[in-house]
Amino acid sequence: MKILHLDTNHPLLLKQLCELGFTNDEDYTSSKEEIEAKIHNYDGFIIRSRFSIDKNFLDKATNLKFIGRVGAGLENIDCDYATSKNIELIAAPEGNRNAVGEHSLGMLLSLFNKLNKADKEVRNGKWLREENRGIELDGKTVGLIGYGNMGKSFAKKLRGFDVNVLCYDLKPNVGDENCMQVSLQELQENANVLSLHTPQTNLTKNMVNANFINSFKKNFWLINTARGTSVVTKDLVSALKTGKILGAGLDVLEYEKTSFENLFSDDKMPDAFNYLIKSENVILSPHVAGWTVESKEKLAQTIVDKIKVKFC
């Protein structure tokens, strides 16, 4: 079987697939149209997020048996159409779930203890202790929306704290010893912290909007290491201004795209984003929650292991 690699990944991916008897070709620079012209020669291809895999692309992949996505989600692939063509879809959420859990916890503790603000002040010669008095996680209720690989990882990290962990998920009976599954209404009535661990779907797009935010009984902290499209940024900013949202840790943004840097030109920065980057109770990171040295290897290994089970 021939596999085309469209993004660079950990070297073990190529090495182990070669050892399993696969022929591996690499093309990290050709345009989508150029790839489409030769994709019929391959039984499988492996991608991260280089471009979307749509119906037209899949129609040209006449011999395709599988798609490997070295990441957690499959939103850049027309999954329904691929499935209708009996193409196996292979993702690797197991590979970076630990990294996402750790990053979520790190963001939350940094917000509670004002670490980014305090660090900046000390570097600028300010020694403001009372202004940087933190709050403790113990005694709080943490609500998770989405209780798959990422949500479960975060819940496991929280076992070292005296917290109540609740989750809401569309799938029934996903709760475990680390988290109690509840209705969305019960989560919104009790949560001091909300952490998102959902895939990008029609249901999750713009999910965290003004109505959703105002349905929470308590003022709360927001952590988003899932997808930027889940949060309506202008509604988040409105809630930060009123104090309904006490602070936010955002690894993903509504504005994510290859031209992100262009937002920093004077005429292109949205007002809502301008507010976020100036807020002391907001922590931002560039979609790296699952992007660790260890997860790079684990993601690749997960893809190899799944291909081996299905096709060897």
Q: Say how many C-beta atoms besides its own lie within 10 A of residue 30's C-beta.
A: 12
Structure tokens at 178: 């680390």
CA distance 232 to 209: 5
Kindly report the length of the chain: 312
CA distance 190 to 29: 50
Q: Which residues contact 78 (CB under 8 A, 6 or more apart)?
A: 52, 53, 54, 55, 58
For β-strands 282-284 and 2-5, DSSP reports them as unpaired
Q: Which residues are catalytic?
A: 227, 256, 287
109-136: buried (b, 16+ CB within 10 Å) or exposed (e) per residue? ebbbbbebbbeebeeeeeeeeeebeeee
Residue 87 near residue 65 (C-beta atoms within 8 A): yes
Phi-psi region of 139 (alpha: psi -120 to 50; beta: other; left: phi over 0): left
List phi, psi (to 5°) of 74.
-125, 25
The helix (H) or strand (E) run that includes residue 237 is helix 233-242
Smallest CA-to-CA distance from 166 within 149, 184, 150, 187 is with 187
